Amino acid sequence: MKKQTSFSTKGQRADLGPLQIQRMLPNRYADAVGPFVFLDYVAPAIKETINKNGMGAHPHRGIATLTYILQGEVEHFDSAGNTGKIYSGGMQWMKAGNGIIHDENFNYDSQTDSKYIHGFQFWLNLPSKNKAEKPEHIAIQANEVLQKQLADNGGWLKVIVGNYKSSSSKIPNYSEQFLYHIHLEAGKSFTLNFKDKIEVAAFLPTYNAILNDTEFHKGDFVEFDRNSGDIEIKNTSEKVIDIMLFGGESYTEAIIAEGPFIMNTHAEIAEAYRDFYAGKYGEIKINNKNENYKK
């Protein structure tokens, strides 16, 4: 049996400096899909200059952030001393845990001639028992991302988060969760089965696709019901299409979100702000010098 569509939306515009941002989650219909509580889509854009000052340092607590860059380059800095740079097709994950300040540079890929930037940033809510853990950071280049070929030369599936059959992403799992980038050749189809109570959403960044016999359009965010069943993806066009498919088990604890903090109680939100203003998240420093990267 095929899963039914719950809703679809185009999100809302939320540009950040030179980046053209479409905020897909949360939206008017849903605050979360499994552990995913936030999705900003960085629409394709040409960037002619290199930004060296970051997009703006800011704190997080209680979540993990995940940046997946289709085209471009992202450099990361944080107050735990982590740095990293990923290029087109790479991803980086940061567990904010009990509090961190971070900043990112989104630039064109210095390893290629392309001036395009195009990608995603997700937030994943952490279980309450993990919200007090120390921050961590992982940078994964494109050639390290787990990729599986689809049957009948149908394309490929990249495992950004979670598991696919017997293979696992390098990103840690704190609950049952998944994020797949599916690249489907012209005229091909691909089907995934999901068990009961698993929340699933799709996003179409490039072209239209047929999901369970209904055509959706480029830029659509689509959520499905929580019953067990299949999601069949068909590409009836003459172009290769891409689909982001993500979700996981329901987050059963209370979710209290305010600004960059996502906790389980209002008291924990208040504490997150107190600790931030008290300087307990530290400062971003570079080159092992006592100079702030961004105040």
Beta bridge partners of 74: 86, 106
CATH of the domain at 166: 2.60.120.10
For residue 49, pLDDT beyond 90: no
Between 293 and 138, residue with greater pLDDT? 138
* pLDDT averaged over every residue in the chain: 93
**What's the pTM value of the predicted model, to 2 decimals?**
0.93
Residue 275 lies in a domain: no
**Alpha carbons 103 and 80: distance in angstroms, whole number:** 12
Q: Does residue 293 fall inside a structural domain?
A: no
Number of domains forming the structure of the chain: 1
In a domain, 292, yes or no: no
Provide the pLDDT confidence category of residue 53 given band limits of 50, 70 and 90: confident
Is residue 65 in some structural domain?
Answer: yes
Q: Is residue 241 part of a domain?
A: yes
In a domain, 264, yes or no: no
pLDDT at 290 over 80: no
214-261 pLDDT, tens digit each: 999 999 999 999 999 999 999 999 999 999 999 999 999 999 999 999
Residue 97 near residue 60 (C-beta atoms within 8 A): no
**CA gap 169, 246 in Å, rounded:** 13
C-alpha dist (Å) from residue 94 to 137, 174, 178, 288:
4, 13, 16, 21
Q: What's the pLDDT at 287?
A: 58
Q: Which domain holds residue 84?
A: 5-249
Residue 196 lies in a domain: yes
Q: What is the pLDDT of residue 291?
A: 39
- Tens-digit pLDDT profile for residues 69-115: 999 999 999 999 999 999 999 999 999 999 999 999 998 898 887 88
Residue 255 domain-assigned?
no
Query: What does the pLDDT read at residue 17?
Result: 73
pLDDT at 289 over 50: no
